[in-house]
Amino acid sequence: MKDREIIDLYWERNEGAISATAVKYGKYCYSISYNILHNAEDADECVNDTYMGAWKSIPPQHPECLATYLGKITRNLSFNRLKQYTAKKRGLGQTELVLSELEDCIPARMTPEQIVDEMILVKSINQFLRLQPDQNRNIFIRRYWYLYSIRDIAKAYGLSESKVTALLFRIRNKLRLHLEKEGII
């Protein structure tokens, strides 16, 4: 089923929207949640909560890209769930490690009034990523959006873990320079 058809089912308040979403995006949402939480039961619950979140927010929302919309809901729910647990207790500190790697590149948000600054930051990061070679962009996104481990990324691309680590280090440095050039840092 096409995304537009699924969104139309949500707008019609047809419960088939949830099952169609589960069929098309269930594994995608699960992988996002599991990479954050490292716990199958919690990931399953977050995926189910994602379907409920989509049900409650469509309408009035009319997402342009359903996968991105669901992915964002799943990520937010998973991070909220993660806050309930310590990162060392669940996920072996992996999520905390991934997020700490980006601390030097991205300024911390201090107040809700900085939403505009955050939008500028997102636009600048997207611009930076579009300029990167496909493999670098995909590795960066796997690490910092999907929270894949270095080992899993290395395996997926046939690279050594040290090569992936070095590549991510170089990309983060380029990102930092790009953001400084944009006046964001």
Q: Residue 145: its pLDDT value, please?
A: 85
- CA atoms 59, 62, 66, 71: torsion sign: negative
> What residues of the chain score a pLDDT lower than 50?
87-88, 90
Task: Give 80-95 pLDDT, tens digit per residue.
Answer: 888 876 544 545 556 5
Would you state the pLDDT for residue 182? 85
C-alpha distances in Å from residue 108, one per residue of 81, 114, 134: 21, 10, 28
- How far is the C-alpha of 44 from the C-alpha of 48, rounded, in Å? 6
Q: Which domains does the chain have, with CATH numbers?
A: 3-92 (1.10.1740.10), 106-181 (1.10.10.10)
C-alpha 69/C-alpha 56 separation (Å) is: 13
pLDDT at 122: 82
- Rounded-to-integer distance, Cα 175 and Cα 169, Å: 10
Q: How far apart are CA 129 and CA 175, in angstroms?
A: 9
- Note the pLDDT of residue 50: 96
pLDDT score of 87: 44
Average per-residue pLDDT in the chain?
A: 86
pLDDT at 97: 65
Confidence at residue 91, expressed as pLDDT on a 0 to 100 scale: 52
Prediction pTM value:
0.68
